[in-house]
Amino acid sequence: MTGADTTIQSGQSPYARRTWRLAHGRTMELGPRGHLMGILNVTPDSFSDGGRFAGIDAAVAAAEGMVSDGAAIVDIGGESTRPGADPVDAATEQARVLPVIEALSKRGDVIISIDTYRAETARLAVRAGAHVINDVWGLQRDPEMAALVAALGAGVCIMHTGRERKKANDVMEDQALFLRQSLEFAGAGGIGQDAIVLDPGFGFAKDVDENVELMARFSELHALGYPLIAGTSRKRFVGAVSGRDTDERDVASAATTAMLRLEGAAIFRVHEVAANRDALAMADAVVTQRNMETRI
């Protein structure tokens, strides 16, 4: 298996067809149109929907609703990543997520992502039916994670974070420093390039100005050479800009989806799927038209 390339891969359009390789023999085509990843937090304390989907039946019903509304991926998390959240142990996290993954995997049509930075939780989740490992610490928290991802043949979302580290002064320089380090871990662990998408980590130890600048300069991330995922949904900076409380930020969140699709993002991690589906459809129509004009 070819390891991840940490050099800049320039020249490829973010809308060109790419195959994202996932666990259990699944793949997803990225590029020509955007995809939605529905957020399913089976936790009591997540910042937006904590406690709503704590039971298996409620969680599976919510996931099925997301798929019906247009989500291609459901991202299941058992530990809140909001600022100041109390950490949980691996056993608690696994008790929350594994039954939901097992139940949802019986559908067969949905791609399941496990939101964890623990290798053991990731291993059990993939065994239960998950296809993607979404690591908010960019493979840099658990030293076993990269090799595990490779061994499982899973897709991986490698996220940037500014937590517990000294950041570079420039937003994009810090993105490059952290994500290139993560890609070195990926390469050393044997993860193939076609298994990787990168996430700039909106909201993770970034203030309002940094998040807005990250949106404004988002296209610079394509220099890293990998498909990009955007997770702006209901984040604090969206509330600061729009003046809306957490549960009133879906319109503004959908606006960020449309804007970032036009900047080349491939996947959008969202709470409210239907509104983002419509925003993404409009952005994809513009992307298609631009690509047609380019070929004329």
Q: Which residues are catalytic?
A: 235, 269
Q: Which residues pair with 75 in a beta bridge?
A: 39, 113
Residue labelled with tokens 């993860």: 191
End-to-end CA distance of the chain: 38
Strand order in the sheet with 155-159: 196-199, 155-159, 132-135, 111-115, 73-77, 35-41, 267-270, 229-230
**Helix, strand, coil distribution of the chain in percent, nearest 5:** 45, 15, 40
Q: Tokens at residue 277, please?
A: 């589906």
Instruction: Give the separation between CA 136 and CA 23, rounded to whole angstroms.
Output: 19
Axis-axis angle for helices 56-69, 273-295 (nearest 10): 30
Q: Tokens at residue 45, please?
A: 């304390």
* Vertex 286 angle, CA 282 and 291, to 5°: 145
Pairing of strands 155-159, 132-135: parallel
